[in-house]
């Protein structure tokens, strides 16, 4: 038998009759305490010494470099780039655009450098056969100064003026005059904002990436990855860029995209330069919304503030109930007074993507039919409006309300001047605003002979996601039909927002008390397509809407996309949604399929809850003429004449445009009366 271990005192083993030598085992001595591998940090490289472009940008803000020509063979091109400073154009040439840009900046800097002997480096006079590589183009016999030495000289000059502010006139004459003036007024120049890039007076998307442009405009730019969030199976990176001791954040699914987002936020805040899709594209192709983008774009800094406020409030209210933080769609409404975003208030926060199942319909308004996040946020806003009108019931608290008595109109109350509401949704609303290919230029007209693909009214499907055109639905919905298995259909969020832009966001009941309230802006976290979004929320009926009773009108909200766009979430949508309104102690979690809270209770933002609040206001609010509410919920709404006229005109406008008929819920849902 073979032994189980090696043969003692032998360097050979026998196997299958053959002898072979066993090589001696090599021992590897591991250090007792192995040094751990160095972790990669997310800090950026140490800033390089300034070149002539950076130096010129310190002296003149917002300069634009233009490519004048490209000559030479393909394998060895020669670029000519110009820059205009104080009305004078300076040229530079090089084998790359970067080198040509540096040479153009150096030429501009030489134009106002004055040396001790009084000689001046004059501007170049470009000519057809100018050799930019020779030293013969300088006037007054001064030999060419190397670009590196030129920058070094300027930096030393600036240091000298800072150390010796009280120079004699003779000493001043040896310094660059414009640099001396700049150093004496350095604080003044610190606050000069770089102008936004424009074409013919209209803003355009820069043709350079945000990070590159930021480095060109500023020298002290430092990026740092300060946080990595891997929640919800979506790896998210957070980058912070520091410029002149100011910090700007950006997030994204990769460090590169997070860095771009941070740079966009910085450019929007410091220079009013926007990369928003609402801005004219860099190729100067006019948007198909008839130049409405310039007036409909919300400033990027405001859009970012709205998105940040809603996200921060969501993270705040979800603490302690993280099990319900899972979501696909997040929405919220922010209120500002006189567009002061430093004191803006988050009115509501909500999540959700589902509608109630038909078997859970309620005959007394006790369930939420539509739990899509933006619809829930608007219902939370209604709760806030009722609370603000409650303040008017007591003379001691009336001054705290956002409403004031309306002495010269048909409505007892109206919003205070300067109060605006802004809707945030982390993605385009379902329906017409989301029916497009995000990575294709599909702005052309649909050539299908039998239908109009764009602008169609669409409906959500119960218990599911997505929408279908109303022409594919079964028409009028009936109570018994739904209970027997017919799908309960609800109008899409795009269609409901279009409705809000006609009849207001205050609802029919409050329309008997206050003037219509409209959204000032809609900010998206992703999937903003200017043409489709504008058409969906107001554009498809702007030519056919007519006969609206004043003060009802077609509202055109400003649109914007946040710089830190939300990624596409491939996770399955949960069957619950949360809602929170300012003043609430804690959030409410609703089962979207039943329309009730997860504990089976009636939600605080149902029809039933609002009808009760309306009944209280009619009894206690000063200035109300007809105080009794004797009819049911549906008839009470029908009695608000101007609101009903505006709503009917909205439905007629869709029909005139051949976009379908508005689908209503079974009328039995609204046949309930006030609780005793």
Examine the pLDDT at 263 and tell me if it is beyond 90.
yes
pLDDT of residue 137: 36
**pLDDT band, residue 151 (cuts 50/70/90):** low
Report the pLDDT averaged over residues 58-76: 86
Measured distance CA(56)–CA(47) in Å, rounded: 17
Which residues partner with 524 through β-bridges?
425, 561
Q: What pTM does this model have?
A: 0.72
- The residues that bridge with 335 in the sheet, in sequence order, are 345, 421
**Three-state DSSP state, 432:** helix
Better-scored residue on pLDDT, 201 or 136:
201
Task: Compute, in degrees rounded to 10, the torsion defined by CA atoms 503, 504, 506, 510.
Answer: -40
Q: Both tokens of residue 77?
A: 């091109």
Q: How much of the chain, in percent, has pLDDT values that exceed 70?
A: 73
Q: Please report the pLDDT score of residue 140 as a whole number.
A: 33
Exposure string of 587-615, with b = 16+ CB inside 10 Å and e = fewer, is bbbbbbbbbbbeeeebbbbbbbbbbebbb
Compute how many other C-beta atoms are within 10 angstroms of the C-beta atom of residue 522.
Answer: 26
Give SS3 for 197. coil
Structure tokens at 97: 């655009």
How high is the pLDDT of residue 167? 46
Task: Please choose, from the candidates 671, 437, 425, the residue with its C-alpha nearest in 3D space to the C-alpha of residue 557.
Answer: 425
pLDDT at residue 144 in the model: 47
Angle at 317 between CA 312 and CA 321, to 5 degrees: 125
pLDDT at 272: 87
Per-residue pLDDT, averaged over 336-343, amounts to 95
Give the residue with greater pLDDT, 364 vs 234: 364
Residue with the bigger pLDDT between 340 and 122: it is: 340
Backbone angles phi, psi at 604, to 5 degrees: -80, 0
DSSP H helices, 274-401, are 293-296, 300-317, 373-391
pLDDT at 114 over 80: no
Residue 485 has pLDDT above 90, yes or no: no
How high is the pLDDT of residue 322?
Answer: 92
Q: What is the pLDDT of residues 513-562, one digit of tens each?
A: 999 999 999 999 999 999 999 999 999 999 999 999 999 999 999 999 99
Cβ atoms within 10 A of the Cβ of 343, count? 9
Question: Which position has the higher pLDDT, 536 or 294?
Answer: 536
Sheet holding 458-461, edge to edge: 467-469, 458-461, 489-491
SS3 assignment, position 15: strand
In angstroms, the CA 303 to CA 597 distance is: 32
Give 584-612 pLDDT, tens digit per residue: 999 999 999 999 999 999 999 999 999 99
Alpha-carbon span 116 to 171, nearest angstrom = 9
Can you give the pLDDT at residue 108?
87
pLDDT of residue 190: 39
pLDDT bucket at 119, cuts 50 / 70 / 90: very low
Average pLDDT over the chain reads 80
Confidence of residue 633 (pLDDT cuts 50, 70, 90): very high
Instruction: Identify whether the C-beta of residue 100 lies closer than 8 Å to the C-beta of residue 80.
Output: yes
- Residue matched to tokens 């949508």: 573
For residue 192, pLDDT over 50 is answered with no
Sign of the torsion angle spanned by Cα atoms 357, 362, 367, 372: positive
Residue 344 near residue 309, CB atoms below 8 Å = yes
> Quick one: pLDDT at residue 146?
59
Burial degree of 444 (CB within 10 A; 0-12, 13-18, 19+): exposed
pLDDT-derived band at 110 (thresholds 50, 70, 90) equals confident
Average pLDDT over residues 288-300: 63
Could you report the per-residue pLDDT of 210-248, keeping only the tens digit for each?
999 999 888 889 999 877 765 544 567 899 999 988 999
Q: What is the pLDDT of residues 658-669, one digit of tens each?
A: 999 999 999 999
Give Cβ neighbours of residue 186 (< 8 Å, ≥ 6 apart): 162
The predicted pLDDT at position 159 comes to: 56
Task: Please tell me the chain's helix, strand, coil percentages from 3-state DSSP, rounded to the nearest 5.
Answer: 30, 20, 50
Nearest-5° angle of CA 46, CA 47, CA 53? 165
| 624 vs 509: CA distance, rounded Å | 13
Q: In the block, which residue shows the tokens 């219509």?
A: 516
Is 258 buried (19+), middle (13-18) or exposed (0-12) by CB count in 10 A?
buried
Q: Matching CATH topology for 56-109 and 210-271?
A: yes
Q: Which fold has domain 210-271?
A: Double Stranded RNA Binding Domain (3.30.160)
Crossing angle of helices 255-271 and 210-217, rounded to 10°: 50
pLDDT interval class at 441 (50, 70, 90): low
Query: What is the C-alpha separation between 61 and 267, in angstroms, rounded?
Result: 13
Q: Is the pLDDT of residue 166 over 80?
A: no
DSSP string, 488-517: PEEE-HHHHHHHHHHH-SSHHHHTTTB---
Three-state DSSP state, 32: coil
Which positions ≥6 away from 581 have C-beta within 8 Å?
347, 348, 380, 381, 383, 384, 605
Measured CA to CA, the distance from residue 96 to residue 101 in angstroms comes to 9
With H, G, I as helix, E, B as strand and everything else as coil, classify residue 580.
Answer: strand
Q: Which of 528, 509, 501, 499 is nearest to 609 (CA)?
A: 509
Cβ partners under 8 Å of residue 455, min gap 6: 432, 535, 536, 540, 657, 659
Q: Where are the domains of the chain?
A: 56-109, 210-271, 300-437+455-670
Helical axes 373-391 vs 607-620, angle rounded to 10°: 20
Chain-centre distance for alpha carbon 107: 40
Token duo for residue 602: 């009636």
Only one residue has tokens 């806030």, namely 384
Helices and strands, number each (H, E), in the chain: 18, 23
Measured CA to CA, the distance from residue 364 to residue 634 in angstroms comes to 11
Return the exposure string of 494-504: e unless at least 16 CB atoms fall within 10 Å of the residue's CB, then b.
bbbbbbbbbbb
CATH of domain 56-109: 3.30.160.20
Known catalytic membership, residue 374 = yes
What is the C-alpha to C-alpha distance for residues 290 and 539, in angstroms, rounded to an integer? 11
pLDDT surpasses 70 at 13: no
Rg (CA), the chain: 34
More confident residue, 648 or 288: 648
641's tokens: 């004449």
Which of 245, 297, 312, 374 is catalytic? The answer is: 374
The pLDDT of residue 328 is above 90: yes
Residue 509 vs residue 272, higher pLDDT: 509
Dihedral (CA of 449, 455, 461, 465) sign? positive
pLDDT at 154 over 80: no
What are the residues whose beta carbons fall under 8 Å from the beta carbon of 554, sequence distance 6 or more?
Answer: 501, 502, 538, 541, 542, 545, 548
Contacts of 147 (CB under 8 A, 6+ apart): 51, 52, 102, 103, 106
What percentage of the chain carries pLDDT values higher than 90?
54
CA distance 393 to 226: 49
Of 326, 140, 306, 303, the closest CA to residue 231 belongs to 326
The residue among 49 and 83 whose pLDDT is bigger is 83
pLDDT greater than 50 at residue 644: yes
């Amino acid at each position: 038998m073979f032994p189980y271990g090696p043969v003692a005192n032998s360097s050979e083993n026998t196997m299958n009759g053959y002898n072979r030598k066993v090589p001696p085992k090599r021992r590897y001595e591991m250090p007792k305490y192995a040094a751990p591998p160095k972790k990669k940090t997310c800090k950026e490289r140490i800033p390089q010494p300034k070149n002539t472009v950076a130096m010129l940008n310190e002296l003149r803000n917002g300069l634009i470099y233009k490519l004048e020509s490209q000559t030479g063979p393909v394998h060895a091109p020669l670029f000519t780039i110009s820059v205009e400073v104080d009305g004078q154009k300076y040229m530079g040439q090089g084998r790359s655009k970067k080198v040509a840009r540096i040479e153009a900046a150096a030429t501009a800097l030489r134009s106002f450098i004055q040396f001790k002997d009084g000689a001046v480096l004059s501007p170049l006079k470009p000519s057809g056969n100018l050799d930019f590589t020779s030293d013969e183009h300088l006037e007054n016999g001064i030999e060419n100064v190397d670009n590196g030495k030129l920058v070094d000289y300027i930096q030393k000059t600036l240091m000298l003026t800072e150390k010796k502010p009280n120079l004699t006139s003779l000493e001043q004459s040896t310094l660059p005059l414009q640099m001396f003036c700049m150093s004496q007024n350095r604080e003044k120049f610190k606050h000069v904002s770089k102008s936004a890039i424009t074409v013919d007076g209209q803003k355009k998307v820069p043709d350079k990436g945000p990070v590159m442009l930021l480095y060109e405009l500023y020298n002290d730019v430092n990026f740092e990855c300060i946080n990595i969030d891997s929640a919800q199976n979506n790896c998210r990176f957070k980058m912070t860029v520091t410029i002149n001791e100011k910090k700007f954040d950006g997030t994204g699914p990769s460090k590169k995209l997070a860095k771009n987002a941070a740079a966009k936020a910085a450019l929007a805040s410091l220079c009013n330069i926007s990369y928003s899709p609402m801005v004219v594209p860099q190729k100067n192709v006019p948007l198909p919304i008839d130049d409405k983008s310039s007036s409909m774009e919300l400033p990027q800094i405001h859009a970012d503030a709205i998105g940040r406020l809603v996200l921060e409030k969501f993270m705040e209210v979800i603490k302690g109930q993280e099990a319900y933080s899972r979501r696909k769609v997040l929405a919220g409404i922010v209120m500002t007074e006189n567009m002061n975003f430093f004191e803006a208030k988050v009115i509501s926060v909500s999540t959700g993507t589902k509608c109630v199942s038909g078997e859970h319909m309620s005959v007394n308004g006790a369930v939420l039919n539509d739990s899509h996040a933006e619809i829930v946020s608007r219902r939370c806003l209604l709760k806030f409006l009722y609370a603000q009108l409650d303040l008017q019931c007591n003379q001691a608290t009336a001054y705290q309300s956002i409403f004031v008595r309306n002495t010269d109109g048909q409505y007892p109350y109206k919003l205070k001047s300067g109060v605006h509401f802004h809707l945030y949704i982390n993605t385009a609303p379902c329906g017409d605003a989301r029916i497009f290919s995000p990575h294709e230029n599909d702005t052309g007209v649909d050539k299908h002979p039998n239908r109009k693909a764009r602008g169609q009214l669409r409906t959500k499907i119960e218990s599911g996601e997505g929408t279908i055109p109303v022409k594919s639905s079964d028409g009028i919905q009936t109570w018994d039909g739904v209970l027997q298995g017919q799908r309960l259909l609800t109008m899409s969020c795009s269609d409901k927002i279009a409705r809000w832009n006609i009849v207001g966001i205050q609802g029919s009941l409050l329309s008997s008390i206050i003037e219509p309230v409209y959204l000032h802006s809609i900010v998206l976290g992703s999937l903003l397509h200017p043409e489709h979004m504008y058409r969906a929320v107001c554009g498809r009926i702007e030519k056919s809407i007519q006969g609206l009773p004043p003060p009802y009108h077609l509202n055109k909200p400003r649109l914007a996309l946040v710089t830190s766009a939300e990624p596409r979430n491939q996770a399955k949508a949960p069957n619950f949604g949360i809602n929170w309104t300012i003043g609430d102690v804690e959030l409410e979690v609703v089962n979207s399929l039943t329309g009730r809270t997860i504990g089976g209770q009636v939600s605080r933002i149902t029809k039933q809850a609002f009808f009760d609040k309306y009944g209280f206001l009619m009894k206690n609010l000063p200035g109300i003429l007809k105080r009794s509410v004797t009819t049911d919920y549906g008839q009470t709404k029908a009695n608000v004449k101007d609101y009903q006229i505006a709503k009917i005109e909205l439905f007629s406008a869709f029909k005139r445009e051949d976009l379908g008929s508005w689908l209503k819920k079974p009328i039995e849902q609204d046949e309930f009366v006030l609780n005793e």
